[in-house]
Structure 1
Amino acid sequence: MRMSAMSFEETSRILDDAGGALHYHEAGSGETLLLLHGSGPGVTGWANFGNNLPVFAKHFRTLILDLPGYGKSAPVEGMPIPAAVDSVIRFMDRMGIESAHIVGNSYGGIVGAQLAAAHPDRVKRFITIGGIGVGILSSFPGEGLTRLVDFVEQPSKERLVAWLHSMVFDKAILTEELLEMRWKSSTDPVTMETSKKMYTRQALEAIAAFGRGPDAVQGFAYLPKIKAPTLIAWGRDDRVNPLDGALVPMRLIPNAELHVFPNCGHWAMIERKAEFENLALAFLTRD
Structure 2
Amino acid sequence: MDEPSEEVGLSVDVNGVKTNYHDLGDGPPVLLIHGSGPGVSAWANWRTVLPLLGRAHRVLAPDIVGFGYTDRPAGLVYGPDVWLEHLLGFLDAVDVPKVSVVGNSFGGALALRLAIAAPERVDRLVLMGSVGVPFEITPGLDAVWGFEPSLDAMRNLMRVFTYNGSAVNEDLVRLRLDAATRPGVHEAYAGMFPQPRQDGVDLLTLADELIAAVPHETLIVHGRDDQVIPLSNSVRLLELLDRAQLHVFARCGHWVQIEQGQRFAALLESFLAEQAAV
Answer yes or no: same fold by TM over 0.5.
yes
Q: In structure 2, what is the Cα distance between the partners aligned to 1:20 and 1:218?
A: 27
**Structure 1 residues 170 and 57: CA distance shift in structure 2, 3 A:** same
Alignment check: 8 A CA contact 2:142 2:197 kept? no
Q: Describe the superposition over 1:237-257 as per-residue Cα deviations: whole angstroms up to 9, x where unpaired.
A: 001011111122111122111
Aligned partner of 1:247 among 230, 235, 240: 235
1:10-89 paired onto structure 2 within 5 Å: 12-76=9-73, 77-89=76-88
Equivalence map 1:92-131=2 (5 Å): 92-131=91-130
Residue 12 of structure 1: CA displacement? 1.6
What does residue 142 of structure 2 align with? 146
190 and 80 in structure 1: CA distance in 2 versus 1, 3 angstrom threshold: farther
Aligned to 1:3: none
1:179 to 173, 187, 190: 173
Q: Indicate if the aligned counterparts of 1:26 and 1:63 stay in contact, CA closer than 8 A.
A: yes
How many residues are aligned here? 269
After superposition, the Cα gap between the structure-2 partners of 1:218 and 1:40, relative to the gap in structure 1 and judged at 3 Å, is closer
Aligned-residue CA RMSD (Å): 2.3
The runs of 5 or more residues in structure 2 that have no matched partner are: none
Aligned-partner SS, 2:116:
helix
Return the TM-score normalized by structure 2.
Answer: 0.89
Distance in 1 between the 2:126 and 2:47 partners? 17
Deviation of 1:104 after TM superposition, in Å, equals 1.1
Give the deviation of 1:194 after TM superposition.
3.3
- SS, match of residue 196 in structure 2: helix
Per-residue displacement from partner, 1:103-125 (whole Å, max 9, x unpaired)? 11111111111001110000100
Name which of 139, 149, 158 aligns with 2:152.
158
Contact 1:149/1:201, CA 8 A, preserved across alignment: no
**Structure 2 match to 1:214:** none
CA contact (8 A) 1:29 1:61 kept: yes
**1:86 deviation in Å?**
0.7
- The change in CA–CA distance for 1:66 and 1:90 in structure 2 (over 3 A counts) is same
Gaps of 5+ in 1: 1-6, 212-216
Q: Percent of counterpart pairs with the same letter?
A: 31
